[in-house]
Amino acid sequence: MKAAVLASDQFDGKVALVTGAGSGIGRATALAFARSGARVVVADVAEAAGEETVRRIEEAEGEARFVRADVADELQVARLIDACVETFGRLDFAHNNAGIGAPPAALHEAELVDFERVLSTNVLGVWLCLKHEARIMLRQGGGAVVNTASLAGLIGFPMHVAYCTSKHAVIGITRTAALEYARAGIRVNAVCPAFIQTPMVDRLVEAGGPRSSLERLANMQPMGRIGTPEEVADAVVWLCSDAASFITGIALPIDGGTTAR
């Protein structure tokens, strides 16, 4: 399996925000931004987990600050974005990554409360973050944003109607924002990971009953394995970098070949 991104100084002087950075993909991206020289704002609802990400960044001689924020709450999001500027003076990159799933259920049996909870975090959360990030980036004259959608934003996923709906919406937000801000120097893209080894997938396997296993998920992907959080982090960092300077509005599959079928 592939190692983490190489250290570089390409983001020296830059500031990156990562939501859901206390775990999985968000933590890997926060570490990857720091390794590339950015100062990082680590945002999460889970305080101990977010502080642990900061500790790991500092251990690797990076600079980071934890801010507790629920992305579904506009006041908390506004304060989070203001905290980025107050703490580090600017905001260059954002990875709007916080997201949740719901227990698997057939569409006609899914609960309204689960649907609303998933849409609040995954859809309103991404929109609210972008809304307030854009406020700063417009003032600064540019920036780059990556939203975490999913393979479930590109194709249907039986038994996961709320999650699948939410991730399709993330791609809609991404494309709309990319067009609105294209001339303002703000690029907005989405990543669409298939199964990635994180606590979210561990929970999915647990909820899936006796027939569910990591091995089964791995075998659903053409490469025969699930991905690592670092493989998603690499793509996020690349999309934020000047190497992707003419790329905006894309929904990039990171899926071991799944969408090639």
Chain positions 202 to 261 lying near ligand NAD, rule: CB under 6 A, are none
Sheet with 93-96, side-by-side order of all strands: 64-68, 39-44, 15-19, 93-96, 143-148, 186-193, 251-254
Contact with ligand NAD (CB under 6 A) among 29, 30, 54, 70? 70
Beta strands in the chain (DSSP E): 15-19, 39-44, 64-68, 93-96, 143-148, 186-193, 251-254
Nearer to ligand NAD, 105 or 184 (CB): 105
Contact with ligand NAD (CB under 6 A) among 165, 198, 228, 258? 198
Q: Out of 11, 66, 127, 163, which one is annotated catalytic?
A: 163
Contact with ligand NAD (CB under 6 A) among 11, 24, 119, 171? 24
Task: Check residue 189 for interaction with ligand NAD (CB under 6 A).
Answer: no
Task: Check residue 62 for interaction with ligand NAD (CB under 6 A).
Answer: no
Nearer to ligand NAD, 19 or 36 (CB): 19
Nearest distance in Å: CB 233, ligand NAD:
10
Contact with ligand NAD (CB under 6 A) among 40, 42, 45, 129? 45
DSSP structural state of residue 227: B
Which residue matches tokens 């993330």?
170
Which of 130-136's residues contact partners 24+ apart within 8 Å by CB, and which partners?
130/94, 130/96, 130/173, 130/177, 130/188, 131/77, 132/77, 132/78, 132/80, 132/81, 133/17, 133/81, 133/91, 133/94, 133/96, 134/177, 134/181, 134/186, 135/81, 136/81, 136/84, 136/85, 136/90, 136/91
Contact with ligand NAD (CB under 6 A) among 195, 230, 234, 239? 195
- The 120-149 contact track toward ligand NAD, x by CB under 6 A, reads -x---x----------------------x-
Count residues binding ligand NAD (CB under 6 A): 29
Nearest residue to 34 (alpha-carbon basis) of 50, 17, 22: 17
Nearer to ligand NAD, 63 or 73 (CB): 73
Nearer to ligand NAD, 57 or 183 (CB): 57
Contact with ligand NAD (CB under 6 A) among 36, 97, 228, 248? 97
CA distance 62 to 192: 27
Contact with ligand NAD (CB under 6 A) among 5, 41, 49, 119? 49
Letter string b/e over residues 215-230, b meaning 16 or more CB atoms within 10 A of that residue's CB: eebbeebeeebbbbbb
Q: Is 163 one of the catalytic residues?
A: yes
Residue positions annotated with a catalytic role: 163
Residues binding ligand NAD (CB under 6 A)? 19-20, 22-26, 44-46, 49, 70-72, 97-100, 121, 125, 148, 150, 193, 195-196, 198-201
